[in-house]
């Protein structure tokens, strides 16, 4: 089977935002071609001794693939809609898309060779297809298969959230997870002592991925609920989620989404409830903190890892 390959030209400093927009449009995976110099951490994770010196020219090419029988016009229309919305907030360059064909590859599963177990402090995060090593027996463990949904825990934004959840989750608390992706934050919260979590996401792939990962970690259906929909502006979703009933909420999205999301999350929290917000580039942190304050939240903590920031606030 051949695949239709699409190459999107954008700015290298907008890669993460554009990839997130593609995910919202239902794109399952993206290849990045750019000249951004590797960080020290990147080099540590690569099995190459000599790497070329490159200078960032400000341009990035993002490749994504569709099967021949997919309705590419419908997919591209969704992509354009997401890109147009993103362009209202930030410069994504020309955002042109070119099409070509490529030979059959297992695009869905080939990435698994690069996802290995790792640690967030004492927490072991391990792919569902690997076994826990004898030396890791007794550690807190999350088994994760991200599938087509964002959220392996490897990204700085997810790790920031996990550390804040470990700090603020109390035994028996009730959690709201907005933009749940793979469900990893809810799994972590339940592992840290939460009794129940409600998860929402716009992507149907995230709904199934979260349910599968909950089962993989032995979490019963009585301890979670997952629903598809937009908490920002869908009254039906807002009513289903509920108001003033959560001890803690987490949203690992993007600053541009967190700003309009903040009032909805605040309404869901109890008085004294804590919100953990991540997916924030350092320069966008003031936008999120001001939005939190306008929504009636007091800033408790601002943490940073790499170029990413998390904001924790109390109602």
Task: Say what the pLDDT of residue 110 is.
Answer: 60
| For residue 112, pLDDT beyond 90 | no
Does residue 58 register a pLDDT over 70? yes
Q: Specify whether 204 is located in the same domain as 60.
A: no
Query: How does the average pLDDT of the chain come out, rounded?
Result: 86
| Helices vs. strands in the chain: H and E counts, helices first | 9, 14
132 in a structural domain: no
How far is the CA of 283 from the CAs of 18, 38, 212, 279, in angstroms? 17, 20, 35, 12
Do the domain assignments include residue 12?
Answer: yes
Percent over 90 (pLDDT), the chain? 54
- Does the residue 80 lie in any domain? yes
CB count within 10 Å of CB 98 equals 10
Q: What is the CATH number of the domain that holds 259?
A: 3.40.50.150
Residue 134 has pLDDT above 90, yes or no: no
Based on the domain organization, do 75 and 171 belong to the same domain?
Answer: no
Q: For the domain that residue 61 is a member of, what is the CATH number?
A: 3.30.70.120
Taking residues 298-310, report their average pLDDT.
93
d(CA 59, CA 89): 19
Of 67, 102, 137, the residue that ends a domain is 102
For residue 146, what pLDDT band results from cuts at 50, 70 and 90? low
In a domain, 256, yes or no: yes
Range in 147-151, 156-160, 310-314 with the lowest mean pLDDT: 147-151
Is residue 261 in a domain? yes
Q: Is the residue at 55 inside a domain?
A: yes
Q: How many domains does the chain have?
A: 2
Same domain, 28 and 95: yes
Answer yes or no: do 171 and 63 share one domain.
no
Q: 311 or 149, which is more confident? A: 311
Confidence of residue 114 (pLDDT cuts 50, 70, 90): low
C-beta contacts of 70-79 below 8 A and 24+ residues apart: 70/4, 72/4, 72/99, 75/25, 75/26, 75/27, 76/6, 78/25, 78/26, 79/8, 79/21, 79/22, 79/25, 79/27
Q: Is residue 54 scored above 70 in pLDDT?
A: no
Predicted local confidence at residue 51, as pLDDT: 43
Do 289 and 265 meet the contact criterion of CB atoms below 8 Å apart? no
Shared domain for 206 and 264, answered yes or no, is yes
- The residue-averaged pLDDT of 124-144 equals 85
Q: What would the mean pLDDT of 236-244 be, rounded to a whole number?
A: 97
Q: Looking at the structure, tell me whether residues 178 and 300 fall in a common domain.
A: yes
71 is a domain residue = yes
Examine residue 39 and state whether it is found in any structural domain, yes or no.
yes
Instruction: Say if residue 155 is in the same domain as residue 82.
Output: no
Q: 202 and 87 in one domain?
A: no
Check: pTM over 0.85? Answer yes or no.
Answer: no
Length of the chain: 315
Percent of the chain predicted with pLDDT > 70 = 85
Same domain (yes/no): 168, 307: yes
Where among 102, 135, 166 does a domain terminate?
102
pLDDT-based confidence at residue 315 (cuts at 50, 70, 90): very high
Least confident of 95-109, 229-243, 273-287, 294-308: 95-109
Same domain, 79 and 20: yes
Output the pLDDT for position 101: 72
Residues 30 and 86 in one domain: yes
Tell whether the model's pLDDT for residue 42 goes beyond 80: no
210 with 277, same domain: the answer is yes
State which of 102, 117, 133 marks the end of a domain. Answer: 102
Q: Which domain holds residue 82?
A: 3-102
Q: Cα(313)–Cα(209) distance, rounded to whole angstroms? A: 28
């Amino acid at each position: 089977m051949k695949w239709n390959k699409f190459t999107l030209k954008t700015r290298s400093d907008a890669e993460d935002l554009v990839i997130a927009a593609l995910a919202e449009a239902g794109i399952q995976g993206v290849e990045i071609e750019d000249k951004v110099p590797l960080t020290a951490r990147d080099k540590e994770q690569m099995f190459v001794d000599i790497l070329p010196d490159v200078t960032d020219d400000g341009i990035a090419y993002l490749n994504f693939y569709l099967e021949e029988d997919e309705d590419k016009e419908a997919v591209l229309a969704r992509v354009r809609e997401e890109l147009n919305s993103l362009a209202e907030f930030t410069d994504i360059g020309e955002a042109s898309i070119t099409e070509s064909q490529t030979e059959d590859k297992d695009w869905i599963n080939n990435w698994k060779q690069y996802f290995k177990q790792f640690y967030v402090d004492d927490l072991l995060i391990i792919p569902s297809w690997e076994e826990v090593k004898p030396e890791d027996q007794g550690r807190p463990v999350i088994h994760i298969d991200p599938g087509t949904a964002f959220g392996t825990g490897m990204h700085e934004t997810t790790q920031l959230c996990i550390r804040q959840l470990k700090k603020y989750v109390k035994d028996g608390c009730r959690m709201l997870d907005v933009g749940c992706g793979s469900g990893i934050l809810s799994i972590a919260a339940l592992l840290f002592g939460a009794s129940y979590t409600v998860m929402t996401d716009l992507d149907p792939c995230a709904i199934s991925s979260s349910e599968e990962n909950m089962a993989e970690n032995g979490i019963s259906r009585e301890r979670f609920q997952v629903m598809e929909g937009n908490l920002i502006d869908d009254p039906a979703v807002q009513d289903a989620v509920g108001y003033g009933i959560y001890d803690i909420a987490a949203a690992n999205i993007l600053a541009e989404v967190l700003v309009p999301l903040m009032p909805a999350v605040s309404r869901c929290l109890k008085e004294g409830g804590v919100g953990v917000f991540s997916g924030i580039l350092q320069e966008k942190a003031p936008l999120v903190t001001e939005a939190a304050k306008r929504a009636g939240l007091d800033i408790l903590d601002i943490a940073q890892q790499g170029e990413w920031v998390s904001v924790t606030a109390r109602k």
